Chain A
Amino acid sequence: RKEVEQDPGPFNVPEGATVAFNCTYSNSASQSFFWYRQDCRKEPKLLMSVYSSGNEDGRFTAQLNRASQYISLLIRDSKLSDSATYLCVTQNFGNEKLTFGTGTRLTIIP
């Protein structure tokens, strides 16, 4: 079983729609959580950190449920530029190593 699991998609969503991604992690020692986005043939870029209280950054909302070991990302009013692969990432306390999920491919359709 992969340590961080995501639905690989692809998700094909019309522009302006709301889309949600989910992620589960198996390592209970994970302490920090992130969403990264990766464009084709490019390096991953940090989108946002994820906190237990939930956090929002513009059209993006991230939630963490430690009891269920579940992380989500919600994108509202999706734009064409949101098309990318979204990577769920965990990090253990005191260990800088990042563990990446396989990613969920999102395509926004005009």
Chain B
Amino acid sequence: GAVVSQHPSRVICKSGTSVKIECRSLDFQATTMFWYRQFPKQSLMLMATSNEGSKATYEQGVEKDKFLINHASLTLSTLTVTSAHPEDSSFYICSAYAGTGSYEQYFGPGTRLTVT
């Protein structure tokens, strides 16, 4: 299957700082990428849909000024958590969708963010 990478895999930061997470499709061009967040013992919750070259579409309740998404190329999307707080500590997972007739989304390995 197609490969999606995320970097970093784990990050610890201090409250008030910003953290950038990268999501890359390594062997295909992703017209759309998705960003999810998963709290312990809970399911994946979609945060936003990112289309290359256009503004991201955020789900209800997700602050776009706090979670900045940039999808500058067909293989890279970034999520920046600005002014992070301890409640932002979570598992952030991206997925990529080739949109070439296949329904399948390919998930990255996730980034575990801890804000102290």
**Contacts from B to A (Cβ < 8 Å):** 32, 34, 42-46, 49, 91, 93, 95, 97, 99, 103-105, 107-110, 112
Contact = CB atoms under 8 A, between A and B. Distances in A.
A-B complex: 9 closest residue pairs judged by Cβ atoms:
A43-B107, A102-B43, A100-B43, A100-B44, A43-B110, A96-B97, A43-B109, A43-B93, A103-B43
Contacts, number: 42
Contacts of A91: 103
Given A42-B109, A43-B107, A100-B45, 20 more contacts: A41-B91, A41-B110, A41-B112, A42-B110, A43-B93, A43-B108, A43-B109, A44-B44, A46-B104, A49-B103, A87-B44, A96-B32, A96-B34, A96-B49, A96-B103, A96-B105, A97-B34, A97-B46, A98-B105, A101-B43
Contacts of B112: 41
Interface centre among B43, B49, B110 (most CB of A within 10 A): B43
Nearest to B91: A41
Q: How large is the interface on A (under 10, 10 to 19, 20 to 34, 35 or more residues)?
A: 10 to 19
